[in-house]
């Protein structure tokens, strides 16, 4: 059989095809077409903007799909521009504006690096965000320079995020 990572991409590509089919059928359904993958130049610029390298798995995801509406239920896989704080080009046509950032969440929840279990909150990069509630999935990029994937944290309104080994 196919390696598990290939099976994962087959499923995601199938989801993208169905989303495109529904969008083509009727754009008013609120199902947005798939975003194409980010270029190496876009990813390098994002890393420069952030002042650190992306997690290798996160970078690979963005190379294959640069953002995805309704990625996991109602949540959005953030695009390079959204992660960099530049918003999404589709906002002019009614897409959510992600102005509530991970930093806002940390301040509101009074979370510190020690409470989260990381050396510095700045090493956390948002991957997935909910458009209508304080919900984030973020990856710790502190090990990215060594080519290693970091731990993933789910922040869902509480003071104790859930932690996972990798994306």
Residue carrying the six token digits 């320079």: 145
| pLDDT confidence bin for 30, thresholds 50/70/90 | low
- H or E element in which residue 6 lies: helix 4-25
- Which tens digits make up the pLDDT trace of 71-125? 666 777 888 888 887 665 444 444 455 556 788 888 888 888 888 889 888 889 8
pLDDT beyond 60 at 1: no
Residue 132 structure tokens: 């209508």
Q: Which stretch, 1-5, 44-48, 95-99, has highest mean pLDDT? A: 44-48
Whether 127 and 77 have beta carbons less than 8 Å apart is answered as yes
To the question of pTM greater than 0.85 for the whole model, the response is no
What's the pLDDT at 93?
43
> 44: buried, middle or exposed (CB in 10 Å: 19+, 13-18, 0-12)?
middle
The whole-chain average pLDDT of the chain stands at 78
CA distance 139 to 45: 18
Q: In what order do the strands lie in the sheet with 75-77?
A: 68-72, 75-77, 124-129, 136-140, 152-155, 162-164
CA distance 167 to 165: 7
pLDDT beyond 50 at 152: yes
């Amino acid at each position: 059989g196919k390696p598990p990572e290939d099976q994962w991409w087959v499923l995601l590509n199938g989801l993208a095809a169905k989303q495109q089919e529904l969008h083509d059928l009727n754009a008013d359904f609120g199902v947005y077409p798939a975003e194409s993958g980010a270029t190496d130049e876009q990813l390098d610029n994002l890393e420069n903007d952030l002042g650190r390298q992306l997690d290798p798995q996160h970078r690979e995801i963005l190379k294959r799909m640069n953002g995805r509406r309704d990625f996991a239920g109602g949540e959005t896989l953030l695009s390079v521009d959204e992660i960099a704080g530049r918003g999404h080009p589709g906002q002019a046509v009614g897409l959510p504006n992600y102005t509530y950032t991970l930093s806002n969440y940390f301040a509101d929840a009074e979370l510190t690096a020690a409470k989260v279990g990381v050396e510095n909150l700045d090493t956390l990069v948002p991957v997935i965000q909910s458009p209508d509630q304080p919900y984030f999935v973020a990856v710790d990029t502190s090990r990215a320079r060594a080519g290693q994937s970091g731990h993933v944290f789910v922040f869902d309104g509480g003071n104790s995020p859930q932690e996972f080994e990798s994306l």
